[in-house]
Amino acid sequence: MYQAGLPSKPIAEILPYLATGMVTPPLLERLAAERDRIDRQISALVTTRDRLGTGIAEAAANAAAGARCRLA
């Protein structure tokens, strides 16, 4: 799980369930919560990447036109 990118705290919470080999509602809830956290993180990263891409494109256009870049 750690190799798959899960932080150590959720892994520690999940391990007791794995030791029993039983899938329980609390385990499923914990896994779903972790998936939702990862989805939020992905969304935030995509937003950041898109903003960076916009900034790069604007800076490149300004450089090509000989214009100065301004900080927003």
- DSSP secondary structure string, 10-26? HHHHHHHHHHHT---HH
Q: Using one digit for the tens of pLDDT, what is the confidence trace for 4-44?
A: 777 888 888 888 888 888 888 988 998 899 899 999 999 99
pLDDT at 62: 92
What would the two tokens of residue 54 be? 């916009």
Predicted confidence (pLDDT) at residue 72 exceeds the cutoff of 70? no
20 within domain boundaries: yes
16 within domain boundaries: yes
What would the two tokens of residue 51 be? 């903003």
3 within domain boundaries: no
40 within domain boundaries: yes
Enter the pTM of the model.
Answer: 0.70
Q: What domain count does the chain have?
A: 1
56 within domain boundaries: yes
Domain that holds residue 53: 8-65
